[in-house]
Amino acid sequence: MKTAFIYTDAYVDFDYGPTHPLKVIRLKLTYELIKAYGLLSLPFVQSIQTKKADDEDLALFHSRDYLDILKQASKGQSAKSFYHYGLGPGDNPIFKGLYDWSLWVTGATLQASELVAKGEKEIAFNIAGGLHHAQRSRASGFCYINDAVVGISKLLKQGKRVVYIDIDVHHGDGVQKAFYQTDQVLSISFHESGYTLFPGTGFESEIGEGAGEGYSVNVPFPAFTDDETYLWAFEEVVPPLLQAFKPDVVFSQLGVDTFYNDPLANLHLSIAGFERIVRRIKDLVPRWVALGGGGYEVSNVARAWTLAWAIMNGIELNENLPEPYLEKAGRLGIHDRKLREGAPPPSQCHDNGGRMEIERVVDYLQKKVFPKIRS
């Protein structure tokens, strides 16, 4: 097992603003917990400093005029035309250095994908990545540059076949749209239904177009879906599709906003459920580029992504969080003391017919999508 963790403290130089739900400090806190557990000093782990991407990398997907607008916004400039590009008060604020922020995040994803594609590492993790909503010429859902699309696009130029697995609570719409007409990328997104959550897309009938028909796979969950139902659907969908497609590299977006106590969504997963999903991905994929994603309860993010990194390295962690981390977390008002702290209250998933709905979705995919996938 050879793994790489890509990170820089430069991430915390950037801030979406005091009232914005995406707190960049969650990345620093995750890094501190991983380090406190000794997971960066393992003999087969390489801790790598992030290098910025450059304009040419970003232009693999994004339009030049959009990149120019981001550069202007990054200097603190503002204009009415910026709204056309999704920038302004709300989800995608204009803040100093937002273009540099995007270069750092995307650079780490490119480093991870290169290491894995070349066979230098089996697994590489960029906790800052997974900004899956950004469109070619528009910011969306807290995302300015779609680092996953940029990383995958670079691998496609090398002739690689890629599976993208997205377990964020929000549909991976930017990634889906980018590869909607190709059979070189199999995009699989598990998310809360667009009927109840942003971005309002990701229904099972969205299966791709042209050469890409069948290569976009969506599993939209009803609100309050629990571990049991989620894991059942994952097991029904992912293993057979991976076996049929036979990718060179697997990307995964490991958003943790699926948790029952995340403030921005309505699914009902526990950290134990997330752990089981990550273990299954590790079991199934030979080469793995792991990205972060959503997660708006900061303690959840740090504990879950630390647990994910431990799984990637085959390490079992002590349930008691290390004292050096507790001290730093306490300064932020975080007082969880256990790695798997807290269990969700009983879910309404079965009472409201959620399991039946997911069984219907999976049946649809098995009939309409599975037969189209080929290696």
Residue 180 token pair: 């909607």
CA dihedral 216, 142, 105, 59 (to 10 degrees): 60
Residue 239: cis peptide before it, omega within 30 degrees of 0: no
Residues labelled as active-site residues? 133
Residue 352 token pair: 């409201």
Distance CA 96, CA 51 (A): 19
Q: Phi, psi at residue 351, to the nearest 5°? A: -65, -35
Nearest to 298 by CA among 337, 334, 246, 255: 334
Q: Within a 10 A sphere around the Cβ of 74, how many other Cβ atoms?
A: 20
Residue 349 token pair: 């998933």
Residue 286: cis peptide before it, omega within 30 degrees of 0: no
